[in-house]
Amino acid sequence: MKKLLALVLTVILFIPCALAEEPSLESLVLDVIKKNPQAIKEALEKYEKDLAEKKQEEEFEKLLADKVEVDIGKSPVKGPKNAEYLVIGFSDFQCPFCKSGDNTIKEFMKNHDKKIKYVFKNFPLSFHPEAAPASKAAWAAGKQDKFYEYHDKLFENQGKLGDELYVQIAKDLDLNLDKFNKDRASDNAQKQIDEDMKEGQKIGISGTPGFVLNGVKILGAYPVDHFEKVLSRLEATAKK
């Protein structure tokens, strides 16, 4: 029966013209479908799943082969200075997917302790009105060595983004408020955002979040398993 089902699927998927040319074959196919609707349904679903997985694997292999370079510049770094692997994240503080992506990066770094360091790049999307102001506030906090502390507070309070929150976080982190307000309103704050976005656009990033792990692009809020898969492949390649 399995061989017969396989034959039926082959006819349905690959040689439909055969049905018109061979009435007896058409009758056989219709009879098998009628008697085994669930089996046919499951087989077709498996076929579609296999096709999707094959496409994903092909796209994955292409990303591994087409590595990109990103200039870190003066962007804030978190993690061991001499870490073997580098993740660069292009993010928007108002983007809910970026919040999810940030949690994934924290889990990924925790899984590999001293092996990974992280660099944050601003990529505020135009339809998020508080994304750029939040980026400027975080940059200003970084001028007082509190970027990632401020960064975390912004994501924790993503639903409350606004000037009141920016000032409150600065107070909570004991920042010099005069310097903080001056820095976030400066041309240099906007300049940093512009430079980060230029780097992202250069490698094809148009939405958030977007990540680069040792040159391999990971576009979207993928689960930590995907980062692990990329890392495993990079490690295997390094051993060759």
**Amino acid identity, position 2:** K
**206: how many CB neighbours lie within 10 A of its CB?**
10
The CA-based diameter of the chain, rounded to the nearest angstrom, is: 86
Instruction: Name the residue ranges covered by the structural domains of the chain.
Output: 2-65, 77-239
CA distance 69 to 75: 15
- Which candidate, 45, 44, 40, 41, places its Cα nearest to that of 29? 40
What pLDDT is recorded for position 14? Answer: 45
pLDDT-derived band at 64 (thresholds 50, 70, 90) equals low
Which residues are 91's β-sheet partners? 122
What pLDDT is recorded for position 137? Answer: 98
- Of the listed ranges 51-55, 69-73, 74-78, the least confidently predicted one is 51-55
CA distance 204 to 217: 9
Ramachandran sector of residue 219 (left: φ over 0; alpha: ψ -120 to 50; beta: rest): beta
CATH of domain 77-239: 3.40.30.10
Query: pLDDT at residue 182 above 90?
Result: yes
What pLDDT is recorded for position 15? Answer: 45
What pLDDT is recorded for position 32? Answer: 61
CA distance 185 to 177: 12
- Of the listed ranges 48-62, 150-164, 212-226, the least confidently predicted one is 48-62
Please give the structure tokens belonging to residue 70. Answer: 């990103």
**Amino acid identity, position 234:** L
At 188-224, the pLDDT tens digits run 999 999 999 999 999 999 999 999 999 999 999 999 9
**What does the DSSP assignment read for 184-234?**
HTSHHHHHHHHHHHHHHHHTT--SS-EEEETTEEEES---HHHHHHHHHHH
Query: pLDDT at residue 31 above 80?
Result: no
User: Once rounded to an integer, what is the mean pLDDT over residues 109-133?
Assistant: 96
Query: pLDDT at residue 6 above 70?
Result: no
